[in-house]
A and B are shown apart, each in its own frame.
Chain A
Amino acid sequence: QKEVEQDPGPLSVPEGAIVSLNCTYSNSAFQYFMWYRQYSRKGPELLMYTYSSGNKEDGRFTAQVDKSSKYISLFIRDSQPSDSATYLCAMREMDSSYKLIFGSGTRLLVRP
Chain B
Amino acid sequence: DSGVTQTPKHLITATGQRVTLRCSPRSGDLSVYWYQQSLDQGLQFLIQYYNGEERAKGNILERFSAQQFPDLHSELNLSSLELGDSALYFCASSTRTSGVETQYFGPGTRLLVL
Q: Which of B14-22, B40-48, B68-76, B79-87 contacts A (4 or more CB under 8 A)?
A: B40-48
Among residues 2 to 41 in chain A, which have CB atoms less than 8 Å away from a CB atom of chain B? 32, 34, 36, 41
Contact A99 B56 (CB under 8 A): yes
Contact A97 B48 (CB under 8 A): yes
Measured CB to CB, the closest approach of chain B to A5, in angstroms, equals 11
Q: Does B64 count as interface, using CB distance less than 8 angstroms?
A: no
A91 vs B56: C-alpha distance when bound (angstroms) = 16
Of A36, A44, A99, which is within 8 A of B48 by CB?
A99
Contact B102 A34 (CB under 8 A): yes
A11 vs B37: C-alpha distance when bound (angstroms) = 21
Q: B56: which A residues are within 8 A, CB to CB?
A: 96-99
Q: B31: which A residues are within 8 A, CB to CB?
A: 98
Q: B108: which A residues are within 8 A, CB to CB?
A: 42-43
Of B44, B48, B100, B107, which is within 8 A of A102 by CB?
B44
Q: Which of A45-53, A66-74, A76-84 contacts B (4 or more CB under 8 A)?
A: A45-53
Contact B107 A104 (CB under 8 A): no
Contact B42 A98 (CB under 8 A): no
CB nearest neighbor in B for A98: B101
Measured CB to CB, the closest approach of chain B to A29, in angstroms, equals 15
Tell me the A residues contacting B by CB distance below 8 Å.
32, 34, 36, 41-46, 49, 51, 88, 90, 96-105
Tell me the B residues contacting A by CB distance below 8 Å.
2, 4, 31, 33, 42-45, 48, 55-56, 58, 90, 94, 100-108, 110
| A/B interface sample: 23 pairs, CB < 8 A | A34-B102, A36-B105, A41-B110, A42-B108, A43-B2, A43-B107, A44-B43, A45-B2, A46-B103, A49-B100, A96-B56, A97-B55, A97-B56, A98-B48, A98-B103, A99-B33, A99-B48, A99-B56, A100-B33, A102-B43, A102-B44, A103-B42, A105-B42
